[in-house]
Amino acid sequence: MSEFVKGLEGIVAAQTEMSYIDGEKGVLEYVGIPIGELSAKSTFEETVFLLWNKRLPTRSELDEFTSELRQRYELPAGMEQRVTSLPTNAEPMHVLRTMVSALGMHDAQPNEIELDRARRKCLNVLGHAPTIVAYFDRYRRGLPLIHPDRSLSFAENFLYMLNGEKPTATMARAFDICMILHADHGLNNSTFAARVIISTLSDVYSALTGAVGSLRGPLHGGANEGVMKMLNEIPSVADVESHVMGKLERKDKIMGFGHRVYKAKDPRASDLQGLAEQLAKDTGNEDLYAKSHAIEQIMEREVAAKGIYPNVDFYSATTYHCIGLKLDLFTPMFALSRIGGWSGHIIEQLDGNRLFRPKAEYIGAHNAPYTPIDQR
């Protein structure tokens, strides 16, 4: 009889060559390359190529991959109309989930899962998703849509479509770094969801739709919005101590802290901290960074002994705010990047598939009587 492990904690349920995590030492590598190297030297496009191919591209391979991605910035015919007929008060994560699903209806052969075909469908979603989010945001604000510009990188183009003007090099690079840092992370919940769905030999759109749904939860990608809400609730740095201590006394979770795998500071949080500090200075949001830093110091004093440290969501909140993103776009940003990682896992799963079908331990009654309805 196999042992029941709640939350599958510590269970190895897949093999991957994409990312390696040492939670005790706070190490994250993509295909063996330390995350800090990639965030300092790579681009999101190159990082996705790395994750999908398990090696860095040559110049011409990168150019070709980038060009294929840029060809997918424009939405298929009919999709723009779908996005602009949604309720304007819909949450962007619900919009993204529904529209990723809808993309399957705009593909003449949505169910193809041969590796090269599946890969092309992943590229479709990776290219289309930023346009979906930017179009929806402008539509709900009553602004004219800004069509994508294929001369721009993934990061530049998204910010351009959102704001109607080309981002500064600093903003575009900051956003690109966020995309690199969020691209993959072992068998996290949404990646597991994608792998579980594709393991039935369903289709890429279904697997990515399920993954978006998983990511929005506050214990997963939704935590970055929770961090920002908490920062907004705290009037000033002087109020941080009482606010955090109050939460800890009530046994409330502090969003952006703790991780199922890391028992040290998440290396992505360290990278984002530097970025958040710089952007906060550049954009006059020093107070936001100061509050975040004060929270981290209190958490270090109070709960570090339990292995609770900042995770990727903690400083990404300040970073996204300084880039000018609205609160409910924070989790969609995580998704735009993670589509790269989910896709790599879908391809890995298809390449050597085994249906996921664990068992449940039955803990109910046996031989129970069937009582007729009028006697219950």
Which positions lie near ligand CMC, rule CB under 6 A?
188, 219-221, 223, 253-260, 303, 306, 308, 311-313
Q: How many CA atoms lie within 13 A of 45 on its CB side?
A: 21
Instruction: Please identify every residue annotated as catalytic.
Output: 220, 259, 313
How are strands ordered across the β-sheet holding 33-34? 19-22, 27-30, 33-34
The distance of closest approach from Cβ of residue 327 to ligand CMC in the complex, given in angstroms and rounded to an integer, is 16
b/e sequence 83-120, b meaning 16+ C-beta within 10 Å: beebeeeeebbebbbbbbbbbbebbeeeeebeeeebbb
| Eight-state DSSP code of residue 287 | H
- Report the amino acid identity of residue 223: A
CB of 359 to ligand CMC, least distance (A): 22
Helix residue ranges per DSSP H, the chain: 35-41, 44-53, 59-70, 79-83, 92-103, 115-140, 154-163, 169-182, 189-198, 204-215, 223-233, 240-249, 267-282, 286-303, 312-323, 330-350
In 3D space, the residue among 210, 251, 217 whose CA is nearest the CA of residue 349 turns out to be: 210
Measured from the CB atom, is 188 or 209 closer to ligand CMC? 188
Please list, in sequence order, all residues whose beta carbon lies within 8 angstroms of the beta carbon of residue 211, skipping any fewer than 6 positions away.
Answer: 190, 191, 193, 194, 197, 338, 342
| Least separation in angstroms between CB 341 and ligand CMC | 11
Which tokens sit at 349? 């799963």
Instruction: Please state the closest distance from residue 69 (CB atom) to ligand CMC, in A.
Output: 24
Nearest-CB residue to ligand CMC? 258
User: Which of residues 105 and 245 has its CB atom nearest to ligand CMC in the complex?
Assistant: 245
Nearest distance in Å: CB 292, ligand CMC: 13
| Residue closer to ligand CMC, measured from CB, 92 or 256 | 256
Nearest one of 184, 172, 143, 145 to 50, comparing CA atoms? 184
Minimum Å distance from CB 294 to ligand CMC? Answer: 15
Residue 179 or 308 having the CB closest to ligand CMC: 308
To the nearest whole angstrom, how small is the minimum distance from the Cβ of residue 195 to ligand CMC?
15
Choose between 66 and 316: whose C-beta lies nearer to ligand CMC.
316
CA distance 48 to 336: 12
Contact 73, 127 (CB under 8 A): yes
Residue 204 CA neighbour count, 13 Å, CB half: 33
| 129 vs 312 by CB, closer to ligand CMC | 312
Calculate Rg over the CA atoms of the chain: 22
> Given the complex with ligand CMC, which of 125 and 254 has the nearer CB atom?
254
Between 93 and 103, CB nearer to ligand CMC: 93
Other CB atoms within 10 A of residue 356 CB: 15
Closest CB 276 distance from ligand CMC, rounded Å: 16
The whole-angstrom separation of Cα 159 and Cα 168 is: 10
